[in-house]
Chains A and B, each alone.
Chain A
Amino acid sequence: MKYRTASAWTRRLAAAALPFAVAAAWAQPTQPGRAPVTEPEIRYQAGGSPLATEDMHQNINPKAPPMTKAEFDKGRQIYFERCAGCHGVLRKGATGKPLTPDITMGKGTEILKVFIKYGSPAGMPNWGTAGDLNDAEVDLMARYVQQEPPTPPEFGMAQMKGTWKVLIAPAKRPTKKMNNYNIDNIFSTTLRDTGEVALIDGDTKKIINIVKTGYAVHISRLSASGRYLYVIGRDAKINLIDLWMEKPDNVAEIRVGLEARSVDTSKYKGYVDKYAIAGSYWPPQYTIMKGDTLEPLKIVATRGMTVGDQEFHPEPRVAAIVASHFKPEFVVNVKETGKVLMVDYSDIDNLKTTEIAAAKFLHDGGWDVTKRYFLVAANQSNKIAVVDAKAGKLVKLVDVDKIPHPGRGANFNHPKFGPVWATGHLGSEKIALIGTDPKRKDSAWKVVQMLDGQGGGNLFIKTHPKSKNLWVDTPLNPDPKIAQSIAVFDINNLDKGFVALPIGEWAGLGDGAKRIVQPEYNKAGDEVWFAVWSAKNQQSALVVVDDKTRKLKTVIKDPRIITPTGHFNVYNTQHDIY
C-alpha cells in the first residue's frame, strides 16, 4: 500500500494542496464501482478549507459523546482543515463516506478511532500513524463526528455587498493601454501561500507587479477583450486587475462566499466585458456580477436533486465554469448533483437555465478545438461527459481511467484519428485521447488511444496548435522523482512513448521537495512554462523550456516568487487555446 508510506510532511503539503480536490472512509467499498483511493487523490482532496476559521453553532445531541465548546471548536477546525474536502461540509459524503450522526453514533467512538488513526484500505488516510493527529486529537475527532454537523453561515447579497470594493471606478480608469507591456504574453502566476499573484512579462521574464489577492488563487481568467484579469482564491475572494494601467493592479474586489474555485466572463458577441460569474463551494451557489466592477447582480443556489437516484443534496458545490462562444451562456458544472447548467445571461432578471443531467461529481474540463463541445470529468465515475453547447444537450458519457483530471485538457490533431482531446488521471498513469470530430463516426466521443505516462497524480496536460509536443505533469505522485519531472510525447509518434525531463533539477534549487506543476505555453506557442513549487520557506522558481528543442531556456527566480502553482498566459486563456 503505497499511500501508507507518505511522510507527515508530504501530507501536510497536501493539506496545503491544490484546487478541486477527491478520498473514502469505511473499509468496505459500499458504493458500486468505487475502488480504493490512491495517494495522489488523497493529496488532492484532503486540502484545507477556509471554513476552518468560521465560528459555527454547536447543536447538543444528548446521545452523542459530550464535548465542551472548546473541544467542539477544535474538532470543527481540524474537520475543515483535513476532512471536509472528502466528506463534505455537512458530512453528507462526497469522495469520502457520509459521516452523519445516524451513521457515526452507530459505529461508536472506539471504531471511529481505529479508522481515523489507522485509515482504511478504501482510502481513508491514516491520520494517526502518519503523525498528523495525536491520540488525543484522534479521540476528539471520533467524538466530533458524532455531533450534529454545524452549518457554516450563508452568504447572500448583504454579505457580498459588505465585502465589495471598487478601488478605482471605471470612469477613473485609463481609456487606452497606458503601458508598453505585450499584454497578450503576460503570465498571471498564483503565489499560493502568500495570497498573491505575480504578473510576469512573458517577453522579458521580469515581474511586472505582485498583486494582493485571496488565499491560494485557484485560477486566473480574462475578460473577452483581454483587458481585465479575474482571479479567485479558495476563500472566494475575487480580484479584478486592469491590465491597461501603467502598472497593472487591482481595481475591484469582492467575496462571493466562504470557499470557491471558479470564475469566468461573458464571451459572446455583444457581451464583451459585461458580466463575470463565480461559483462557490460554500454556500453552494453561483453569482453573476458586473464585469468591470464586480457588483453582484444575481445569486443562484445550486442545492437540489442529484442525477440518477434523484435525492436531495444540501451542498452541491460549483466546480468548473466556462463561457460559451456560441450563445450568451455560462456553462456551470455542479459537482454533487452531477448537472451541467447552461445559464443564459441575456436577461438575468428572467434567468433561463438549461439543466443537463450528466453524471455525479463533475469537476474540471475544457472545450474541444471547435469550442462547441465541452468535455468535463465526472471523476468518481471515471467518465468524461461531453456536452454540446450549441444544442444544449449531453452527447455522450465516455469511460476513461481512474479519476480523470483534465484541467482544461489538451486538443491536437492525432495522425490517425484526427482532432482529439486529451486528459490525464489522478488515479493512474494513463492518458486518454478522445476523438472530437462528430463526422468521424468510428472515433467521435470514443477513447481512440490510451497512452502510458510516468504515473498517477497528474493534474495538467498541455499542447499548443503550433506545437508537436504533449506535456504531462505529475505533481501529486508520491515518488519525488516523478513529481519533479515532466513527461513529453511527440504527437506524431505517440507510440514511441514519452521522454521524461528533469525540470526540478533544471531549476537548480538544490535539495528539498518540490513539485512541477502545470505546463503553460506562451502566446507564440514556442515556450512552455512550468512552476517549480517548493514549500513556503524554500526557494521556488518558474522554468521556461524551448518547445522545439525541449531544452532549458531560462529559470525565473525571485525572492518574491513563493509557492507558485497555477500560471496562465493571457492570450491563451482569453481565447481558450489548449
Chain B
Amino acid sequence: MTIRFTVAGFIAVAAIAVPAQASEELAKKHNCLACHTLDKKSVGPAYKEIAKKYKGQAGIEAKLAEKVKKGGQGVWGPVPMPPNAAMSDADIKTLVDWLLKSG
C-alpha cells in the first residue's frame, strides 16, 4: 500500500516538474523572451542569474510571482519589468518554478 502511494506521488511531482520544454514555450507565449533569455543578460536579467540569486530563499516563489504579475524595477538595473496582469496564476507559478530550477 505505502509503496503504491509513493509511486503515485512521484508521478504527480514529475507531472509538474518535467515539462521544461513546455515552460519555455509558455515563456515565449507570454512574451517573456522578448526581454529575457535563459543564460545571457539581455534587456532583462538571464533566468539562470535570477535562479542563482534567489535559490533556496524562503517564500521566493510567491515573491517572484508577484513581480511577474505587477512588474518591478531597481533590482537588476533601471530597466523596468512591465506588469503582466493578464497572465493566469497557474501559468505564473509554472514559469517561476521553471526558472528557479534553471540555475
A residues 15-37 in Cβ contact with B at 8 Å: 26-28
Q: Is the CB of A120 within 8 A of B42?
A: yes
A residues 99-151 in Cβ contact with B at 8 Å: 106-108, 110-111, 113-115, 118, 120-121, 129
* Residues of chain B at interface, number, CB under 8 A: 14
Number of cross-chain contacts by CB at 8 Å = 38
Q: Which residue of B lies closest to A120 (CB)?
A: B43
Q: CB within 8 A of A107: which of B31, B42, B71?
A: B31
Q: Known interface pairs A27-B42, A27-B43, A121-B42. Does A114 touch B82 (Cβ–Cβ under 8 Å)?
A: yes
CB distance from B47 to the nearest CB of A (A): 13
Q: Which residue of A lies closest to B32 (CB)?
A: A111
Q: Known interface pairs A27-B42, A28-B37, A121-B42. Does A114 touch B79 (Cβ–Cβ under 8 Å)?
A: yes
Q: Known interface pairs A118-B78, A129-B78. Does A111 touch B31 (Cβ–Cβ under 8 Å)?
A: yes
Q: Known interface pairs A115-B43, A120-B43, A121-B43. Does A26 touch B34 (Cβ–Cβ under 8 Å)?
A: yes
User: Chain B contacts of A111 at CB under 8 A?
Assistant: 31, 34-35, 82
Per-residue A-contact encoding for B31-45, CB less than 8 Å = 1, 0 else: 101110100011100
Could you give 25 example pairs across A and B, Cβ below 8 Å?
A26-B34, A27-B34, A27-B37, A27-B43, A28-B33, A28-B34, A28-B42, A106-B31, A107-B31, A108-B31, A110-B82, A110-B83, A111-B31, A111-B34, A111-B35, A111-B82, A113-B82, A114-B35, A114-B82, A115-B34, A115-B43, A118-B79, A120-B42, A120-B43, A121-B43
B residues 35-90 in Cβ contact with A at 8 Å: 35, 37, 41-43, 71, 78-80, 82-83
Q: Is the CB of B31 within 8 A of A114?
A: no
Chain B interface SS verdict (over half): loop
- Of B41, B71, B78, B79, the most chain A CB neighbours within 10 A belong to B79
Q: Is the CB of B82 within 8 A of A27?
A: no
* Residues of chain A at interface, number, CB under 8 A: 15
Q: Which residue of B lies closest to A126 (CB)?
A: B79
C-alpha gap A27/B35 in the complex (Å): 6
User: Chain A contacts of B83 at CB under 8 A?
Assistant: 110
Q: Which residue of A lies closest to B86 (CB)?
A: A108
CB distance from B9 to the nearest CB of A (A): 38
User: Chain A contacts of B71 at CB under 8 A?
Assistant: 110
C-alpha gap A128/B98 in the complex (Å): 33
Q: Which residue of B lies closest to A118 (CB)?
A: B79
User: Chain A contacts of B78 at CB under 8 A?
Assistant: 118, 129
CB distance from B30 to the nearest CB of A (A): 10
C-alpha gap A121/B78 in the complex (Å): 14
User: Chain B contacts of A113 at CB under 8 A?
Assistant: 82
Which 6 pairs, one residue from A and one from B, show the smallest C-beta to C-beta distance? A110-B82, A27-B42, A118-B79, A27-B43, A120-B43, A111-B34
User: Chain A contacts of B35 at CB under 8 A?
Assistant: 27, 111, 114
CB distance from B27 to the nearest CB of A (A): 12
C-alpha gap A90/B78 in the complex (Å): 32
A residues 147-161 in Cβ contact with B at 8 Å: none
User: Chain B contacts of A106 at CB under 8 A?
Assistant: 31
C-alpha gap A106/B28 in the complex (Å): 11
CB distance from B64 to the nearest CB of A (A): 18
Q: Is the CB of B34 within 8 A of A107?
A: yes
Q: Which residue of B lies closest to A124 (CB)?
A: B43
Q: CB within 8 A of B43: which of A108, A110, A118, A129?
A: A118
C-alpha gap A386/B95 in the complex (Å): 50
C-alpha gap A129/B77 in the complex (Å): 13
CB distance from B5 to the nearest CB of A (A): 44
Per-residue A-contact encoding for B15-34, CB less than 8 Å = 1, 0 else: 00000000000000001011
CB distance from B31 to the nearest CB of A (A): 6
C-alpha gap A27/B34 in the complex (Å): 6
Q: Which residue of B lies closest to A27 (CB)?
A: B42
C-alpha gap A118/B81 in the complex (Å): 11
User: Chain A contacts of B79 at CB under 8 A?
Assistant: 114, 118
Q: Which residue of B lies closest to A121 (CB)?
A: B42
C-alpha gap A121/B80 in the complex (Å): 15
CB distance from B20 to the nearest CB of A (A): 19
User: Chain B contacts of A28 at CB under 8 A?
Assistant: 33-34, 37, 42
User: Chain A contacts of B42 at CB under 8 A?
Assistant: 27-28, 120-121
A residues 390-405 in Cβ contact with B at 8 Å: none
Q: Which residue of A lies closest to B35 (CB)?
A: A27
Per-residue B-contact encoding for A313-335, CB less than 8 Å = 1, 0 else: 00000000000000000000000
C-alpha gap A108/B78 in the complex (Å): 20
User: Chain B contacts of A27 at CB under 8 A?
Assistant: 34-35, 37, 42-43
Q: Known interface pairs A120-B42, A121-B43. Does A114 touch B80 (Cβ–Cβ under 8 Å)?
A: yes
Q: Which residue of A lies closest to B71 (CB)?
A: A110
C-alpha gap A273/B42 in the complex (Å): 54
Q: Which residue of A lies closest to B43 (CB)?
A: A27
A residues 518-545 in Cβ contact with B at 8 Å: none
C-alpha gap A129/B82 in the complex (Å): 16
User: Chain A contacts of B31 at CB under 8 A?
Assistant: 106-108, 111
Q: Which residue of B lies closest to A119 (CB)?
A: B43
CB distance from B44 to the nearest CB of A (A): 8
Contacts A28-B34, A114-B43 supplied; 4 other A-B pairs, CB < 8 Å: A28-B42, A115-B43, A121-B41, A121-B42
Q: Which residue of B lies closest to A29 (CB)?
A: B42
C-alpha gap A417/B33 in the complex (Å): 49
C-alpha gap A118/B41 in the complex (Å): 14
User: Chain A contacts of B43 at CB under 8 A?
Assistant: 27, 114-115, 118, 120-121
